Amino acid sequence: MEKVRIGLVGLGWVAQIFHLPILTQMDDVEVLAVCDKDKSRAKLIAEKFNIKRWYNDYQEMLKVEDLHAVDICTSTDAHLPVAVASMQAGKDVFVEKPIARHYDEAVKMAEAAKEYKRKLMVGMNNRFRPDTMILKSFIEGGELGKVYYVKAGWLKKLTADRAWLTKKEKAGGGVFLDLGIVLLDMSLWMLGFPAVQRVNAKMYRHETKSVEDTCLGFLEMKYGVSVFFEASWTFQSEQDFFYCEFFGSEGSATINPLRIHKKLHGNLVNVTPVKADSPQHLYKKSYENEFKHFVGAVHGFHPIISSGEEAVQRMKVVDALYKSAAKGKEVVLR
């Protein structure tokens, strides 16, 4: 079977810590080239991972290299131009979340995928964690009964190498587009994408200027499902945390660690099927599973999970949450 030839654009922490270490070890992948605006970084990373060629201009890489796909790990402001140019050049695209800074940019990317008949996948690696996949099968099988409430949160302190996330022109927004969108996606995906009907959001800027560093959100969905989430770079807590809890008429479940409880004969029984792996192992495994899925989709083995079209619908909710925070009132989605 022919190897999938990939070019990677943007060599920040996510590319160095997850994408390149995993992609360069996959038997059915060849990373032909890497690209970064910083020439010295591009050269250094190419040498570190034994990649033959490096560029500081993605347009040149697209002209020279015979690629099947492009992996985009740039700051969010560059997602649209790099993705459209890649698809125009006949390449499938994997782009790290969020797909774009705004709904309108996401629409343009999804339309380009249709126009040029290319695959567009958005990196939502938490869908590919072994524990979340197990829990989704329980929810889809009706093991929790009717799920009516989801509560999720994520605190992750910002590091110096991710400071661009606090610049609105580059990131589009703050902690919500960094962490909160993962919680939103997890809730929608687990529940089978019920339509979001109304949203409320409150955002704070304690240690940032142009974007929010803390976000609280409440969503009401079709079928009477309510979702509350909290995301922050600056919660005063001893340690970072990530959780997602689901409450149904016949049971409840939580992620990180995975725990599933079901009502049986009047008692709440722990029916968690496997021993939980460490958070670090689960996180790494999520990227491995995600890239295997993308490569399989490029080969044509299966359709894309976390497609560009799906991301467009998610960004519609994102824009509504930012609008709610700005106006200080509920926003109804039509």
Say which CATH number the domain at 190 has. Answer: 3.30.360.10
Could you give phi then psi for residue 98, rounded to 5 degrees? -75, 160
Q: What is the pLDDT of residues 130-180, one digit of tens each?
A: 999 999 999 999 999 999 999 999 999 998 888 999 999 999 999 999 999
* Closest by Cα among 125, 105, 113 to 86: 113
**Same domain for 93 and 192?**
no
Give the separation between CA 136 and CA 166, rounded to whole angstroms: 33
* E-assigned strand segments in 56-142: 69-72, 92-96, 120-123
* Nearest residue to 255 via CA among 163, 325, 150: 150
Characterize the bridge pairing of strands 69-72 and 4-9. parallel
| Whether residues 58 and 99 fall in one domain | yes
Q: What is the pLDDT of residues 177-215, one digit of tens each?
A: 999 999 999 999 999 999 999 999 999 999 999 999 999
- Mean pLDDT, the chain, rounded, equals 96
For range 92-112, the mean pLDDT: 98
318 and 173 fall within a common domain: yes
**Can you give the CATH number for the domain in which 48 is found?**
3.40.50.720
Q: Which domain holds residue 141?
A: 127-279+314-332
* Domain co-membership, 116 together with 22: yes
Domain co-membership, 139 together with 184? yes
Instruction: List, edge to edge, every strand of the sheet that includes 4-9.
Output: 53-55, 29-35, 4-9, 69-72, 92-96, 120-123
Query: Same domain, yes or no, for 164 and 291?
Result: no
Domain count for the chain:
2
- Cα separation, 6 vs 101, whole angstroms: 24
Task: Round to whole Å and give the CA distance between 124 and 99.
Answer: 10
Confidence at 278, pLDDT banded by 50, 70, 90: confident
**Looking at residue 176, what DSSP letter applies?**
I
Same domain, 293 and 219: no
Q: What is the pLDDT of residue 274?
A: 74
Same domain, yes or no: 318 and 186: yes
Q: 92-96 and 251-255: which strand pairing?
A: unpaired
pTM: 0.96
pLDDT at 124 over 80: yes
Q: Report the C-alpha gap between 205 and 247 in whole angstroms.
A: 31
**Could you tell me the two tokens for 202?**
């409150």
Q: Do 253 and 105 fall within a single domain?
A: no
CB of 286 closer than 8 Å to CB of 128: yes
pLDDT in tens, 252-274: 999 999 999 999 998 999 999 87
CA distances (Å), origin 270, targets 130, 137, 184, 224, 264? 18, 16, 26, 26, 10
SS3 (DSSP) at 267: strand
What pLDDT does 28 receive? 96
Q: Are residues 218 and 324 in the same domain?
A: yes
What DSSP designation does 307 have? B
Residues 146 and 172 in one domain: yes
Reduced to 3 states (helix: H, G, I; strand: E, B; else coil), residue 304 is coil
Average pLDDT score over residue span 31-57 = 97
Beta-bridge partner residues of 230: 153, 216
Look at residue 273 in the predicted model and tell me its pLDDT. 87
| DSSP SS3 for 56 | coil
Rounded Cα gap, residues 108 and 240, in angstroms:
35
Same domain? 131 vs 120: no
